[in-house]
């Protein structure tokens, strides 16, 4: 194994360089990683991967990274009308990506702050806001570390972001959001249920690529899914092997929620649930739905 816990390397080489895979290091990877074990930490801000993520966010034909434009239009309309948002009110969009929700909210006259950890997405969002004449404050920062206090009437954390956070990070983010909201401010969030989590896995297997999402050059990708049914958590794990023999492990975790478990988490951080739907479009909640859309008030 290399010094980095999620990477392997060539090892000693004599004479002309030949690719050499660290098979022993791969063999030591756990078959069932302990819950919430981190993979490569630079996933979201990797120079190549973040550009691929930005392309996925902006692709109007897929819901892979962001929802399709027509769905975002409907969602923003529903959120604004359900919350009764008026021009001039301050709103924060956490995990804003390239500003797809933030821009639509700003066009309604709201004072919007967007926060995202990806420099590629924030750079695009700032450029687009300037081109469109929208006054949006975009902040390139990990939303686990924000320190706003009583500044916003509403906070958004959309497209299941809450469910990818380990419990300690989830607690930190909810505490940050509660602190950032004014008294009576509302929090808009959606999460996957256990049913939705079961249908949202990656496709297990492997493939070879001459260049794609994970790397610009030739590489192999092996994907596996590990489910932890006792706690309604699933792991999508990606092993990326480069032509040189270097390899990296990426782990994407997902927490499934029920009405009860989500209510407990929100209440622990001072939120009272005002309404529950099956999404953030206003479709009614029904047992067995794949997601929960929630509006909660700062108590």
- Whether pLDDT at 16 is above 50: no
Residue 170 and residue 269: Cα distance in Å, rounded?
10
Higher pLDDT, 65 or 273: 273
Q: Residue 124, SS3?
A: helix
Residue 29's pLDDT band (boundaries 50, 70, 90)?
confident
Residue 164, Cα to own-chain centre: how many angstroms? 6
**Is a pLDDT exceeding 90 seen at residue 25?**
no
H-only helix segments in the chain: 23-27, 47-58, 69-83, 100-107, 119-132, 167-180, 194-199, 259-268
Residues 6 or more apart whose Cβ sits within 8 Å of residue 275: 82, 294, 295
Mean pLDDT of the residues in the chain: 92
Q: 10 vs 109, which has greater pLDDT? A: 109
Give tens-digit pLDDT for 108-139: 999 999 999 999 999 999 999 999 999 999 99
Q: Among residues of the chain, what percentage have pLDDT more than 70?
A: 94
Class at the top of the CATH hierarchy for domain 48-193+257-298: alpha beta
| Location of structure tokens 């206003």 | 282
HSE (side-chain half, CA atoms, 13 Å) at 106:
23
User: Order of strands, edge to edge, in the sheet holding 152-157?
Assistant: 137-140, 111-116, 90-94, 152-157, 181-192, 291-298, 271-277
Mean pLDDT to the nearest integer, 15-43:
80
The mean-pLDDT minimum among 14-18, 38-42, 67-71 falls in: 14-18
Which has more confidence, 152 or 5?
152
In this predicted model, what pLDDT tens digit does every residue of 56-81 receive, in sequence order?
999 999 998 999 999 999 999 999 99
Q: Which two tokens stand for residue 222?
A: 């092996």
Would you state the pLDDT for residue 7? 54
Q: How far apart are CA 276 and CA 273, in angstroms?
A: 8
Closest by Cα among 276, 284, 258, 233 to 35: 233
Judged by DSSP in three states, 125 sits in helix
Is the per-residue pLDDT at 17 higher than 80?
Answer: no
* pLDDT score at 8: 52
| Cβ within 8 Å of residue 108, ≥6 positions away | 76, 80, 85, 87
d(CA 292, CA 249): 30
Q: Indicate whether 15 pLDDT > 80.
A: no
Task: Tell me the per-residue pLDDT of 83-109, one tens digit each, with 9 for 90 and over.
Answer: 999 999 999 999 999 999 999 999 999
Which residue has tokens 């989590």? 197
pLDDT value for 199: 86
Whether 237 contacts 39, CB under 8 Å: yes
**pLDDT tens track for 276-286:** 999 999 999 99
Q: What is the pTM of this model?
A: 0.91
């Amino acid at each position: 194994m290399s010094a980095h816990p999620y990477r392997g390397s060539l090892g000693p080489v004599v004479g002309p360089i030949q690719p050499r895979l660290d098979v022993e290091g791969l063999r030591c990877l756990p078959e069932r990683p302990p819950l919430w074990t981190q993979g490569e930490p630079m996933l979201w801000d990797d120079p190549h991967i973040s550009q691929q993520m930005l392309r996925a966010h902006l692709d109007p034909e897929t819901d892979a990274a962001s929802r399709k434009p027509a769905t975002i239009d409907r969602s923003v309309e529903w959120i604004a009308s359900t919350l009764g948002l008026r021009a001039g009110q301050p709103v924060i969009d956490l995990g804003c990506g390239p500003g797809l929700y933030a821009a639509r909210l700003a066009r309604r006259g709201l004072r919007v702050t967007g926060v995202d950890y990806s420099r590629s997405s924030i750079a695009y969002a700032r450029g687009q806001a300037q081109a469109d004449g929208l006054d949006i404050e975009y902040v390139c920062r990990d939303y686990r570390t924000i320190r706003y206090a009583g500044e916003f009437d509403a906070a958004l954390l959309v497209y299941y972001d809450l469910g990818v956070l380990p419990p300690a990070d989830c607690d930190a983010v909810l505490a940050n959001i509660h602190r950032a909201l004014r008294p009576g401010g509302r929090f808009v969030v959606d999460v996957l249920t256990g049913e939705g989590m079961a249908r949202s896995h990656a496709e297990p297997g492997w493939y070879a690529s001459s260049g794609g999402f994970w790397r610009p050059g030739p590489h192999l990708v092996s994907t596996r899914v590990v489910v932890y049914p006792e706690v309604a958590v699933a792991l999508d794990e990606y092993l990326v092997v480069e032509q040189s023999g270097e390899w990296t492990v990426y782990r994407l975790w997902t927490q499934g929620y029920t009405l009860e478990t989500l209510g407990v988490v929100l209440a622990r951080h001072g939120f009272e649930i005002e309404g529950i739907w099956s999404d953030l479009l206003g479709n009614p909640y029904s047992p067995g739905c794949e997601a929960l859309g929630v509006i909660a008030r700062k108590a």
